[in-house]
């Protein structure tokens, strides 16, 4: 685990030195990711929890049934996808923002040392 944090710290410093963005951007991104991962709750346990509102329980039951269909009928891998839930207290975890020149549908592209180029 210590090697992981050293690697992350090295990436942040290298990216900052490359002029890509500030260290604070990567720090807040890493902090947010860790907070979300720590707040995860098992979907099956939430379905069984009587204090969960009926609408949320119904959505989780549907997601579980859809996931099981994908495994049984579509032969998709039975991994950890869609097995946990986090109530982030807002409509979205992140926002994807795209930019284009006026009257253009061609997106502008930005390049980052670790993640590559994105529109």
pLDDT for 11 beyond 80: no
Band the pLDDT of 106: cuts 50, 70, 90.
very high
First to last CA, the chain: 33
pTM over 0.85: no
Q: Name the band, by pLDDT with cuts 50, 70 and 90, for residue 17.
A: low
Let me know: does 43 contact 84? Beta carbons within 8 Å: yes
* Sign of CA pseudo-dihedral 50, 56, 59, 60: negative
Chain segment 26-50, per-residue pLDDT in tens? 788 889 899 999 999 999 999 999 9
Tell me the CA distances in angstroms from 26 to 14, 15, 33, 46, one per residue in order.
11, 9, 10, 32
Q: Stretch 70-93: mean pLDDT, rounded?
A: 93
């Amino acid at each position: 685990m210590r090697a992981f944090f050293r690697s992350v710290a090295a990436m942040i410093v290298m990216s900052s030195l490359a002029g890509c963005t500030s260290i604070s951007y990567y720090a807040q991104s890493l902090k947010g990711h860790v907070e979300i991962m720590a707040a995860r709750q098992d979907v099956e346990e939430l379905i069984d929890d009587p204090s969960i509102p009926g609408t949320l329980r119904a959505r989780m039951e549907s997601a579980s049934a859809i996931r099981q269909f994908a495994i049984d009928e579509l032969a998709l891998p039975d991994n950890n996808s869609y097995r946990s839930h986090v109530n982030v207290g807002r409509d979205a975890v992140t926002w994807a923002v795209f930019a284009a020149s006026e009257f253009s549908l061609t997106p502008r592209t930005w390049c980052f040392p670790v993640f590559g180029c994105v529109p």
